Amino acid sequence: MTESHCILALLDDEPGVLDRVAALCRRRAFNIQSLTVSPASEPGASRMTLVVEATEIGARRVVAHLEKLVNVQSVDLLQSGDLARDLCLARVACGPAARPAVLQLAEVFRARVVDLAADSLVLECTGNRTKVDRFIEVLRPYGLLDLGRSGAVAMARNSEPLALGIPA
């Protein structure tokens, strides 16, 4: 059965590395649901969070293939209890009459107001993918004017660093 699997990788911070990872997934016919890359705590490295739709065996294959790439320093397949968060920015049509209801919904989801206009609000919500999906769905009836969403950013719950040589 296919499901979402979150993979963390520490990569060399060089041009073309992201392209090689995406090409690897394309060649192996793995659907990338989310891909987030940012600077790592180690100088000269980038941290990639990759969410793929695959079976457990397929996800392990992705990890094995990533480990073979020259510019990949380390790879880790996260477990279901590990931490993964998405970020959502949503501009909602919201005049003075609807504003209290929208603000109450934002409070329920622990979302923050990051911009306010006469006829709209921009709300920021972070959490697991399910929480962000639900947040978006409850805002739809008010009128979503714009929506931006990050991919997952994840970290293992244990205290082990992703790569060797990084002090804990």
Chain segment 132-155, per-residue pLDDT in tens = 999 999 999 999 999 999 888 888
Chain segment 44-89, per-residue pLDDT in tens = 999 999 998 888 898 899 999 999 998 999 999 988 767 889 999 9
Domains and their CATH numbers in the chain: 3-77 (3.30.70.260), 83-149 (3.30.70.1150)
CB 31 within 8 A of CB 74: no
Chain segment 85-125, per-residue pLDDT in tens = 999 999 999 888 999 999 999 999 999 999 999 999 999 99
**pTM for this structure?**
0.77
